[in-house]
Chain A
Amino acid sequence: MSEIVRVEHLKKYFPVQKSVLEQLFTRKKKSVRAVDDVTFSIKKGEIFTLAGESGCGKTTTGKLIVRLLKPTSGRIYFKGEDITQLKREELRLLRRKMQIIFQDPYASLNPRMTIGKAIGHPLEIHGLARGEEKKGKVLEVLQKVGLTPPQQFMNLFPHQLSGGQRQRVALGRSIILEPEFMVADEPVSMIDVSLRTTIIDLMLGFRKELGLTYLFVTHDLAVAKYISDRIAIMYLGRIIEIGSKESLFKNPLHPYTKALLSAIPVPEPKKKREVIELKGEVPSAINIPPGCRFSSRCPFKKDECTKTEPELVEAEKDHSVACYLS
Chain B
Amino acid sequence: MNCSTPSFRGEIAKLPLLEIDSLAVDYRTSRGTVHAVNDVSFFLEKGETLGLAGESGSGKSTLGLSIIRLVPYPGVIGGGQIKIDGRDIVALPEHEMQTFRGTKVAYVFQDPMISLNPVKKIGAHFVELIRTHEPNVSKKEAFERAKTVLKNLGIQPERINDYPHQFSGGMRQRIMIGLAIALNPDLVIADEPTTALDVIVQAKILDLLESLRKAYQMALILISHDLSIILERCDKIIVMYAGHMVEYADGTELHGRPAHPYTQKLLQSIPNIELSDQKLTAIPGSPPDMLNPPNGCRFWPRCSCTMEICRVKEPLLISIGRNHLVKCFLYGEKGVQSE
Chain A residues at the B interface, C-beta cutoff of 8 Å: 53-54, 162-165, 192-198, 200-201, 219, 221-223, 225-226, 246, 249, 259-271, 275, 278, 281
Contact = CB atoms under 8 A, between A and B. Distances in A.
A194 B283 contact: yes
B207 interface: yes
Given A54-B198, A193-B55, A269-B254, A264 B273 contact: yes
Interface stretch (B24-32, B94-102, B139-147, B226-234): B226-234
Interface of B: 55-56, 168, 170-171, 198-203, 207, 225-229, 231-233, 250-252, 254-256, 265-267, 269-274, 276, 278, 280-284, 286-287
Given A195-B283, A264-B199, A271 B232 contact: yes
CB-CB nearest 4 A-B residue pairs: A269-B251, A197-B282, A265-B228, A263-B203
A304 to B, nearest CB: 25
A264 B201 CA distance: 11
A261 B273 contact: yes
Given A222-B271, A261-B273, A268-B231, 8 more contacts: A198-B283, A225-B273, A264-B199, A265-B202, A266-B272, A267-B272, A270-B233, A270-B252
A259 B199 CA distance: 10
A241 B277 CA distance: 22
Nearest to A264: B273
Contact of A193 (B201, B203, B269): B269
Given A197-B281, A219-B198, A271-B232, A165 B276 contact: no
Contacts of A193: 55, 225-227, 266, 269-270
User: Which of A225, A226, A261, A271 neighbours the largest number of chain B CB atoms within 10 Å of its CB?
Assistant: A226
Given A193-B266, A270-B252, A53 B199 contact: yes
27 contacts: A53-B198, A192-B55, A194-B269, A194-B282, A194-B283, A194-B287, A221-B199, A221-B273, A222-B228, A222-B272, A222-B273, A223-B271, A226-B271, A246-B276, A260-B200, A262-B203, A263-B203, A265-B229, A267-B228, A267-B231, A267-B255, A267-B272, A268-B231, A268-B232, A270-B232, A281-B171, A281-B201
Given A226-B271, A266-B273, A275-B203, A192 B280 contact: no
Contacts of B271: 222-223, 225-226
A197 B269 contact: yes
Nearest to A196: B269
Specify the main secondary structure of chain A where it touches its partner. helix
Contact of A260 (B199, B251, B254, B270): B199
B298 to A, nearest CB: 13
Contacts of B232: 265-271
A194 B273 contact: no
Nearest to B206: A265
Contacts of A260: 199-200
A161 to B, nearest CB: 9
Contact of A226 (B198, B201, B256, B278): B278
A275 B318 CA distance: 39
Contacts of A261: 273
B266 A194 contact: yes
A266 B226 CA distance: 10
B109 to A, nearest CB: 19
B245 to A, nearest CB: 17
Contacts of A222: 228, 270-273
A200 B225 contact: no
A132 to B, nearest CB: 31
User: Which of A201, A221, A225 neighbours the largest number of chain B CB atoms within 10 Å of its CB?
Assistant: A225
A219 B199 contact: yes
B252 A249 contact: no
A187 to B, nearest CB: 14
Contacts of A197: 269, 280-283
A226 B280 contact: yes
B287 A53 contact: no
A271 B284 CA distance: 30
Contact of B200 (A192, A267, A278): A278
Contacts of B256: 269
A195 to B, nearest CB: 7
Nearest to A261: B273
A163 to B, nearest CB: 8
A266 B280 contact: no
Contacts of A226: 271, 278, 280
